Amino acid sequence: MLKISTKAKYGLRAMVCLAEDQNKVHSLKEISKKEKISFDYLEKIACKLKKAGLIKSKKGSQGGYFLGRLPRKIKIGEIIRILEGEAGLVECTGKQGSCPLKKSCSAKKFWIKLQNSLNSALDSLTLADLI
């Protein structure tokens, strides 16, 4: 069935870690150790989340990462889409490209309904709901 990548799973865990103690600046080493995620992999994930504005960083000896918005303002779907990309479950539901059979596909309505249901479920929860 549908598989979520480790990038999305680890990214969500890191975001929950930041949300649990949002008044603190967290180092990637700390998150990596706590969540048992490779530091190098977490660094790449953090770069994507920072570029999207979901997290911010502070430089210096007391530096690290913190949430860019309140946990109740960050939807789980947003995190997943940033880390997974905008590709849909199948070609006809994604933002990029399109299926060559898009006009004659008999299953298209099903795939669109499934994609919409998934997006709705992902967007119905926020980081605040997970903490």
CATH number at residue 35: 1.10.10.10
Q: What is the pLDDT of residues 79-114, one digit of tens each?
A: 999 998 876 777 776 665 567 776 777 888 888 898
Distance from C-alpha of 75 to C-alpha of 114, rounded to nearest angstrom:
19
Give the domain extent around 71.
6-130
Distance from C-alpha of 37 to C-alpha of 13, rounded to nearest angstrom:
9
Here the tokens at position 60 are: 């210096």
Distance from C-alpha of 20 to C-alpha of 67, rounded to nearest angstrom:
10
Cα–Cα separations (whole angstroms), residue 73 to 13, 76, 78, 108, 109: 17, 10, 10, 32, 31
Q: What is the pLDDT of residues 37-49, one digit of tens each?
A: 999 999 999 999 9
What total number of domains does the chain contain? 1
In a domain, residue 1? The reply is: no
